[in-house]
Structure 1
Amino acid sequence: MKTNSIGLPIKESEELVNELNILLSNFQVYYQNLRGLHWNIRGKRFFDLHLKFEELYNDSQLKIDLIAERVLTLGGTPLHTFSDYISNSKLKVGKNISKDVEAIELILESLQILLQLERIILAKASDINDEGTNSMMSDFIAEQEKTNWMLKAWMEEEI
């Protein structure tokens, strides 16, 4: 079996690169959605949500960089054009969302898709003992599950 420079099988690493590029594309759309929510949120919860959306987009920006660097580590090339992101993303594009509940619903829907994609990558990385990708996906999943729980708790808040 041929391996790459970090000792992982080449064919399976190429498949992981493809999956990571799909995740990268989805994260780029998620990031841009969060920026739009941050800019456009209105209402009595503006101050809290404006800050929360900034926290989330800053976090997603870090994750985008980690994903792209993992693609490079595995010997691939990270996608880097908007057309690639749109064609590979499964996320809904949030346009002109200014209401709090609608914004949180978009984030929850996006997190559900991101978690599904990350679990696919986690399984494939585990199959070839790719601990670097595995660890990254585990960290992402744990953080996003907690964010999901917190946002769901917010949605159940009585007004």
Structure 2
Amino acid sequence: MEAVKAKNKTFKKLGFTYLETAEIVVSLNTLLANYQVFYNKLRNFHWNIEGPDFFELHEEFENEYNTVKENIDVVAERIRVFGVKSNFTFKKTLELSKIKEQEKEISALEMVREVLHDSMLDAVNASLETGDVVTENMITGFMTELEKRHWMFTSFLK
């Protein structure tokens, strides 16, 4: 009986049930973990790029990690709006992230392919299912940036 009451209870500030809130926050925590691993990967690529495309990719990876750094803060603050603290350790981040670290040395072109391969915006589904328009708009903005990045890096690889 208590579970039914909790299921139907609304989150005072935003009007979502506790279960809807939990679904959104879980998906945002995964997004946050993905972004944090992706940020670290981009920093490593920025520091370790070599070859004839060094100057161009060094700058592009810096642009990318700066964008990701901003997105990390936006996602963490969105989680706080739901009354939940984002208390991430490196261990927890690596466990939650669908994006994996790159531990071996790879070429500049492989770095670009890896950046294109990493996807992290599954959280949009939870926002659509719960009617969380604010989170949906936030993630849609991220998707717009990612689509442009995908087009540019794909063009670079041709």
Q: Percent identity over the alignment?
A: 34
Which residue of structure 2 aligns with residue 100 of structure 1?
Answer: 108
- Give the TM-score normalised by the residue count of structure 1: 0.88
- The one-letter amino acid paired with 2:150 is N
- The one-letter amino acid paired with 1:18 is V
Secondary structure at 2:84 match in 1: coil
- Compare CA radii of gyration and give the structure with the larger one: 2
- The one-letter amino acid paired with 1:2 is K
Secondary structure at 2:9 match in 1: coil
Which residue of structure 1 aligns with residue 44 of structure 2?
Answer: 36
CA 1:98–1:38 in 2, change beyond 3 Å: closer, same or farther?
Answer: farther
In the alignment, the residues of structure 1 paired with residue 125 and residue 98 of structure 2 have an alpha-carbon distance, to the nearest angstrom, of 20
Aligned counterparts, 1:1-159, within 5 A: 1-4=8-11, 5-97=13-105, 99-110=107-118, 113-114=119-120, 118=121, 120-156=122-158
- Give the TM-score normalised by the residue count of structure 2: 0.89
Tell me how many residue pairs correspond in the alignment: 150
1:40-97 superposed Cα distances (whole Å, 9 cap, x missing partner): 0011111111100000000000000111111111122224210011111111212354
What's the RMSD between the two structures over aligned residues?
1.4
In the alignment, the residues of structure 2 paired with residue 59 and residue 132 of structure 1 have an alpha-carbon distance, to the nearest angstrom, of 19
In the alignment, the residues of structure 1 paired with residue 87 and residue 143 of structure 2 have an alpha-carbon distance, to the nearest angstrom, of 22
Secondary structure at 1:80 match in 2: coil
In the alignment, the residues of structure 2 paired with residue 97 and residue 136 of structure 1 have an alpha-carbon distance, to the nearest angstrom, of 34
Contact 1:71 1:78 in 2 (8 A): yes
Listed as ranges, the gaps of 5+ residues in structure 2 are 1-7
Secondary structure at 1:76 match in 2: coil
1:96-139 superposed Cα distances (whole Å, 9 cap, x missing partner): 545210110110111xx21xxx2x42232123221110110110
Contact 1:24 1:68 in 2 (8 A): yes
Contact 2:27 2:126 in 1 (8 A): no
Listed as ranges, the gaps of 5+ residues in structure 1 are none
In the alignment, the residues of structure 2 paired with residue 22 and residue 123 of structure 1 have an alpha-carbon distance, to the nearest angstrom, of 12
Q: Which runs of 4+ in 1 moved over 3 A?
A: none
In the alignment, the residues of structure 1 paired with residue 105 and residue 15 of structure 2 have an alpha-carbon distance, to the nearest angstrom, of 46
